[in-house]
Amino acid sequence: MPDAHDRAGGIASGEFALPLPVPAPDEAALRLRRLFPAYGVLEQRARRRVPRFAYHYAVNGVGEGSPNVAHNRAAMDAVRILPRYGVPVAEVDTRVSLFGREYGMPVGVSPMGNPGIVWPGTGAILARAAQKARIPYIGSTVANESIETLAKLAPDVYWFQLYAAPAEGHARSLDMVRRAEAAGAHVLVVTMDVPGRPKRVGDVANGLEVPFRFRARTLRDIAMSPAWALETLRQGRPGFDTMRKYLPEGASIFDTARFAQKELGQAITWEWIARLREAWPRAMVVKGILHPDDAERAIQIGCDGILVSNHGGRQFDAAPAGIEMLPAIIERVAGRAKVLLDGSVRSGLDILRGLASGAEFTFAARSFLWSVAAIGQAGGDHATLAFLEELRANMTQAGVRTIEEARRAPLV
């Protein structure tokens, strides 16, 4: 079996370095910085711009009142870093190598299902922003754009996230993996924490279903969100374009949505992970791991990375936060694979918290999504610049100059 460097495509870590210092933002970016300085401001702006059903689709978790989402945030806030002073930190370097590539900072865009319902074109906007900022963009099986489209928009940073389609001996799953390889995806991310469809109370209450249907209540919500409605008219209803290949020619958006709902998101076994490991020639990550024994199983199969995550609080309300399980998983992995973190990463400080807790890299979803929903086309660049600015500022405050030093920052 090839090693992790070979599976990443044999690309040297310095092949596309982000130049330092980072170019100063232009006047438009500075204006957005003043208007939308933090996550909470972006979320509130997004809440006013998008229909109620779309906002609740993104903000809610699985349970009534979404307690697991709140728990994720509380667990992140509980991480305290002991700063060191007297350290020369005039320049900090946020660059980091991962699976044979160098990225501009240790945060990437988590896979998002159907983000276009929150703001049309979100997937394409974030793919372009990730390419510009040199951070990983994980395109979901149920992204609105196809594998091929997203890979073209983010050729240097595109990863593909797979939901299994077990029908016909996983024929479609394997075909999507082949498509991702042909499109140039650098990493395959296999999501394991969706063995079935949970009851998302907020979506039920709002009448949100797949395929999406216009009802009196949703029409009323749309009428109160004119910017969203106009952008949706301009771009068309979001579909699941990766799935179109597997339906007859001329299939409607409704047909594609029904197909995705029926075929995807079923339980994945370790035997299937082993089969994927044999089929995929580059770096492979399993996402949704919380138990150290599951991390061990993934390593034994040959996975290169463990993405510790509870799916943003959207699957199992009794699950611990990813950052709570990080130390135990890192101890078990013992350097044999990269340990990554997803869950309530809202700021550069949260990136630093994840690194100081032992993660090699972090991923965020809602932070990027709210920025696009609040701002539109410029929202992706705004989010990446905010993360970079905040990470640099907090590294300086903590007394760390590099990502390696950030991983050794003492916790209280």
What pLDDT was estimated at residue 265? Answer: 64
Average pLDDT over residues 329-336: 97
Mean pLDDT of the chain: 89
What pLDDT was estimated at residue 157? Answer: 98
What pLDDT was estimated at residue 2? Answer: 44
Q: What share of the chain is helix, strand, coil (3-state, %, to 5)?
A: 50, 10, 40
Express each pLDDT in 110-124 by its tens digit.
999 999 999 999 999
Q: Which two tokens stand for residue 231?
A: 């952008």
What pLDDT was estimated at residue 201? Answer: 65
DSSP letter string over 153-185?
HSTTTEEEEE----HHHHHHHHHHHHHHHHHT-
∠ CA 354-360-363 to the nearest 5 degrees? 60
Coil, helix or strand for 363?
strand
Question: How many other C-beta atoms are found inside a 10 Å radius of the C-beta of residue 196?
Answer: 8
pLDDT at 366 over 60: yes
pLDDT at 229 over 90: yes
This prediction has a pTM of 0.91
Q: Using pLDDT thresholds of 50, 70 and 90, give the confidence band for residue 5.
A: very low
Express each pLDDT in 46-87 by its tens digit.
999 999 999 999 998 787 767 888 899 999 999 999 999 998
Tell how strand 361-364 and strand 283-289 pair up. Answer: unpaired
Q: Using pLDDT thresholds of 50, 70 and 90, give the confidence band for residue 99.
A: very high
pLDDT at 198 over 70: no
pLDDT at 213 over 70: no
d(C-alpha 58, C-alpha 200), whole Å: 11
pLDDT at 31 over 70: yes
| Of 140 and 195, the one with more pLDDT | 140
Average pLDDT over residues 270-281: 95
What pLDDT was estimated at residue 20? Answer: 45
| Of 346 and 88, the one with more pLDDT | 346
Q: Which of 271, 217, 299 has its CA nearest to residue 4?
A: 299
What pLDDT was estimated at residue 133? Answer: 97
Q: Which of 56, 186, 311, 382 is catalytic?
A: 311
| Of 281 and 199, the one with more pLDDT | 281
pLDDT at 146 over 70: yes
Q: Using pLDDT thresholds of 50, 70 and 90, give the confidence band for residue 249.
A: confident
Does 71 participate in catalysis according to the annotation? no
Sign of the C-alpha dihedral computed for residues 142, 47, 386 and 288 taken in this order:
negative
Average pLDDT over residues 23-31: 83
Least confident of 145-159, 178-192, 217-231, 252-266: 252-266
What pLDDT was estimated at residue 68? Answer: 86
What percent of the chain shows pLDDT beyond 90?
70
Helix (H) or strand (E) holding 288: strand 283-289
Report yes or no: 202 and 56 within 8 Å, Cβ to Cβ: yes
Tell how strand 283-289 and strand 96-98 pair up. Answer: unpaired
